[in-house]
Structure formats: structure tokens, C-alpha cells
Amino acid sequence: MKKEVNCGEFLESLSDYVDGILGDALCKEIENHMADCEDCRIVVDTLKKTIYLYHETASKTTIPLGVRERLFRSLDLDDFIQKGNLLENDVTF
Amino acid sequence: MSEGNQQEFSLPLLRVGDRAEIARLVDAYSTNIYRLALKMLANPQDAEDVLQNTFLKAIQALPKFEGRSSLSTWLYRIAANEALMTLRRRKPEIEFSPTIDAIESEELALNEFTNWCCLPEGDLISSEAQSYLDQAIQELSEKLRVVFILRDIEKLSIRETSEALGLTETTVKTRLLRARLKLRELLSVYYGERLGTEKI
């Protein structure tokens, strides 16, 4: 019974915990709880991995050249299409 | 904050419509805005329309931009609105659907406890897995999806996300937690099956 209550409290604080913005005292309580609760350890690990995978795979998405070119034309910035290519390293991440 | 805003821009030049400065701004954020639109809409043509409309509206509004939020947060705000309007045009009934807000009062479900973190990176980010990631994010309601994209994909802070969406930080945190947990559940089912296959 006690374990269920702890798991519930843990769930509400989960985002702050994985973002590293939870207060020290609560953080310590959660880590103590996780030491005894394998399910919660798995939830934290898989949640961190979920966030990582979305960011990692999306960060490889860059604007296709044709889309960029049409964007510049639609904004009447045709003369900057080539010049912008020089900045490519700044916007590819 | 997202990585696209490492450059600094001259607000006075942008406000007077300096084309070179505007081109620099467009170049710096076009990938971020395109990615947001693509993840929201899952349709390249709609994403391109949102991208163009975002910058058209931004350029028109720049003379009145007061700088209360950063340029990037302001651009994300315009883009998020454009994307949400596109979704509402697709499904006009969504605005009146009681199920959307009901999502926020739902129990936070945790049903999957498979530890799939140990799968090889190649399996985690295979092209099939990436398609599944895209499919799973579309299962979130638009309200949860936009928060997840801004916070966890574009890496805006909670405060920036709340500014971009005109929501309180508490609402952003609530929606973010639900979005993250829902995606974790969906990914756990998907990768759990791969884990089972690996063991055979």
C-alpha cells in the first residue's frame, strides 16, 4: 500500500525529475523510492529515452532545399537564396 | 532554447524592413518552423504553407514587434497558431469536442514496464522506428502535441513554451507530463515487441 502511494506521488513529479528541476528534498525521496521500485526505475529510463529519441531524430530534419527556395520567393527575397546557403551551418543541427 | 537562435538580430533593421536582415532571420528559423509544422500536421504541403504564412505574417508585424518575448518565441507563437488553424480547418468540429479537455483530467496511466532502453541504437532509430515515432506523436491531441514539440523537440523552456502558446506554466507542465507519458506508453509497446523478437 505504501509503495502505491509513493509511486503515485512519483508520477506527478516525473517531468520535473527528468528535467532536473525538482527540489533537492523531493529528488532525494524519489531516488530512495526508485532504489526499491524497479517499475519506477524503468519508467524514468524509458521516459528519458523517449524524449531523447524524439529530439535526436527530429534534429536531423532540415528544411528541404526546394521548400527553402519557394519560401524565399514567396517572401520576395529571391536575391538572398544563394547568399543564405552560406549560413547553412548555422541552421543545420 | 532551441539551437536555431545563436545569431543576434538587429531589431531596428528588422522593424524598418531591411531585406538582408529579414533574409538572415528567415534563414535562421526556417528549419525550426518547418519542423514544428511538419510534426504538428504530418503533411509536407501543409507544413510548407504554415512556414510561408508564418514568415509572411511575421514580416508584416515586425514594425510593431515590441520585443516583450524573444524573436524566436514570437515566431514559434505565430507558427503554432498557423498550424492549429490548419488542423481546425481540417476538422472544424474539434474545437467543440469535449474529449480534448477531458484528456487533462484523465488518470495518468502507466501500464507498460518493459525496459527497452537496452535495444541497440540501430533498432531505436531505424527508419521503421522513426516512422513509428511520427505515427505515435499524431496520436496525441493537438493540445498535447504542440506542447511536446515545443518543449521536447524544439527545446524551448517551460516559460518560453507558455509564452508561445499563451498558456500558464502550470498548464504547460500538466500537458507536457501527459504527452510524455502517452508517448512513453506507445513506444514501450512498439520497442517491447522488438525486444521480444531480439530474444527469440
Q: Each residue of A33-80: pLDDT tens digit?
A: 999 999 999 999 999 999 999 999 999 989 999 999 999 999 999 999
Q: Which amino acid is at B54?
A: T
Where in chain B are the domains?
A: 3-92, 111-199
Question: How far, in Å, are A34, B60, B87, B89, B119 from residue B162 at the CA level?
Answer: 31, 24, 20, 24, 35
Query: So what's the pLDDT on residue B34?
Result: 98
Q: Is residue A10 part of a domain?
A: yes
A20: containing domain: 2-58
Q: Is residue A89 part of a domain?
A: no
Question: How far, in Å, are A31, A67, A69, A74, B30 from residue A64 at the CA level?
Answer: 44, 5, 9, 15, 10
Query: So what's the pLDDT on residue B198?
Result: 66
Q: Tell me, what's the ipTM?
A: 0.90
Mean pLDDT, range B18-28, rounded to an integer: 96
Residues of B in contact with A74 (CB under 8 A): 52, 55-56
Interchain pair A47, B173: CB under 8 A:
no
Q: Which fold has domain B111-199?
A: Arc Repressor Mutant, subunit A (1.10.10)
CA B111 from centre of chain = 25
Q: Each residue of B65-78: pLDDT tens digit?
A: 988 899 999 999 99
Interface test with B, best of A9, A37, A49 (most B CBs within 10 A): A49
